[in-house]
Chains A and B, each alone.
Chain A
Amino acid sequence: MDRRQFLKATGAASATLGSAGLGFFGYQAGRDPESYTGWETHEGAQQTFNRKRHAKENPHYKKVGQTSRVDARTDVIFYRRGDLMRYWRDDTGIEGLPAHLRAYYKEHPDVLEQDLFQRKEIFPKMMEDSRKHRDQFILSSAWSNAMGAVSPDRINQPPEKSDFPQPSRFGGNTEPLNMKSPEKTSKLIKKIAHELGSTLVGIAELNPDWVYQYPMKGRGFEADEPLQIPEHWKYAVVVGTPMSWDPMYANPNYGTSNDAYSRSRIIAFRVASFIKQLGYPARPHTPGADYDLMVPPVAIDAGLGEQGRHGVLITPELGCNFRPAVITTDLPLVPDKPIEFGVQSFCKTCKICAENCPSGAISMGGKEVVRGYLRYQLDREKCHTFWSSNLGNMGCRICIAVCPYTRKSNWLHKAALKVSANDPTGLSHSALTELQKRFYPGPDPQKYYMPSLGGENASFRRPPWWLRSEDFIEF
């Protein structure tokens, strides 16, 4: 073989090897644990998106009229339906309910109808199906419950008692320390939040509109008294983590919110503790039901993401696979700016979440005015009626799993995000939506229902091996 022949043969072999290498690189990128981004380092390495480039002076939602605050007793559906379950008697009907519920249902008789339908029709069917099919979900339930098993005590004192630093044998300061500058303090708090395990961190000035008008029970406020916003709830630090990726893709039955709820809750309590030890008041508002405010709009204000069509916060790094918590404080901080990275344009045409929602709770139409703000509005009654019927870990999260933004962190999805975030024309949004629909379809949404409602207990994707009960347990 002469020199030229050798070079040609080497070139051909190199091209073949190089191509094969790219295939293996792709395979590795798809299954690499590092693409399951979330909490694997404590250095803030997952908050990768260049937010400064996409920062805006104002958030994407628009204030269009007289605003009002949420009444947690009636507007928070878990709370309202929980109370309905507790107080409803067929013989007394609406008259037997607490005054605020009675007034609400008189004003919204259609909602009462739906709430009673869920209670009287869906709940018994769910219990019956659960007895027949629950074996399938034993491991996922056990895992979900294990994740929820560790939790800080609930805060059941009013802010003037619970939020302020107390003398402790562990040290700390009951008087505020003289911090050098809000800029430095913000940097410090973000670093601490990351060190404590938070995937994303942002800071906002607290908009009073996001605080509940009437509080949840068990938070230390007077029952049925309007919530007076304490002066020291000046800033909101938003922290949070994603749900585990593989179970999340196996929603609605195998996923759980408990894993991220638990992590985010613990992080928020720890951040609050850190702030208190600097001598400043702090109060965590955490999942599952220990809030005095709505978290997603606070996270939008803190520059963590935008609201999607499904009503869920979409972040650039994690899509909607993000469970946030908030710490309110008056520690002097510098708020972050809200960001826009193309979500509003994308959601306008995408509609994948709405098409895949079994309950039809996600609107195919445009935004609506809700309490004075123009935004997408979810039909909460339909949503909760479906998710409370699931036999797995309660909840649904299908809209989170199918959202094109909720993709693992590898070259392919990062490239798609980059194109989408920097495309002012919206052309790439239609193209990416089409690719998503063709390449990553889910089952027929009706199959997600439990068998007694005509479904098959389907999941968006097959559960991971470690949640398949039938592979481990003899039935």
Chain B
Amino acid sequence: MQFFNSAFFWFMEGVLVCLAVIGFKVWMEDRKIPMPFWKWILLGMWALFFGFTIAFVGTNLGEKEPKAALLGGIIFGLLTVISGVGLWRVLKTGKK
């Protein structure tokens, strides 16, 4: 068992996610963008996909599969960026 597979790592990840969510909430409030629950759900889904992309690249590098890491990074990374831009446009709706 190594640190990045340990329960403590996931606890720390949970703490970091909470802090990131609080920071994002404050940031959106300052920009006067309302965040109803459905926007949080969309954001959560995007964050999961973003996390998947990073973990996918890391896992394949760990497995010594550089081609899969590169291809996955490009394909999933592009999808993350494109969906992120789309998501940002959706999140901005309702700005006061």
Contacts and interface: CB of A to CB of B under 8 A. Distances in A.
B5 A29 contact: yes
A150 to B, nearest CB: 30
Interface residues of A, number: 36
Interface stretch (A118-126, A194-202, A331-339, A408-416): A408-416
Given A8-B27, A21-B13, A438-B71, A27 B59 contact: yes
B61 A21 contact: no
B64 A25 contact: no
A17 B57 contact: no
A30 B24 CA distance: 31
B26 A22 contact: no
Contacts of B3: 28
Contacts of B17: 14, 18
Interface string B49-71: 01100111111111111011001
B68 A27 contact: no
A371 to B, nearest CB: 40
A19 B51 CA distance: 7
Interface string A6-24: 0111111111011101111
A31 interface: yes
Interface in B1-60: 1-5, 9, 12-13, 15-24, 26-27, 30, 50-51, 54-60
A219 B9 CA distance: 55
Contact of B58 (A7, A13, A22): A22
B72 interface: yes
A410 B56 CA distance: 11
A264 B9 CA distance: 36
Interface in A205-223: none
A34 B5 contact: yes
Contact of A28 (B12, B22, B56, B62): B62
A12 B71 CA distance: 28
Given A12-B23, A21-B9, A461-B64, A26 B57 contact: yes
Interface in A6-61: 7-15, 17-19, 21-32, 34
A14 B68 contact: no
A15 B16 contact: yes
Contacts of B55: 22-23, 25-26, 29, 411-412
Given A23-B54, A26-B57, A32 B62 contact: yes
27 contacts: A4-B30, A8-B23, A10-B19, A11-B19, A14-B17, A14-B23, A15-B20, A15-B23, A18-B16, A21-B9, A21-B12, A22-B13, A23-B54, A24-B58, A26-B55, A27-B61, A29-B58, A29-B62, A30-B63, A30-B65, A31-B62, A34-B1, A410-B59, A412-B56, A439-B68, A440-B67, A461-B64
Given A21-B9, A29-B5, A30-B62, 5 more contacts: A7-B26, A25-B13, A28-B4, A28-B58, A439-B65
Interface of B: 1-5, 9, 12-13, 15-24, 26-27, 30, 50-51, 54-65, 67-68, 71-72
Interface of A: 4, 7-15, 17-19, 21-32, 34, 408, 410-412, 438-441, 461-462
Q: Would you list the 10 A-B pairs with minimal beta carbon distance, nearest first?
A: A11-B23, A30-B62, A26-B58, A26-B55, A439-B68, A14-B19, A18-B16, A31-B62, A28-B4, A30-B63
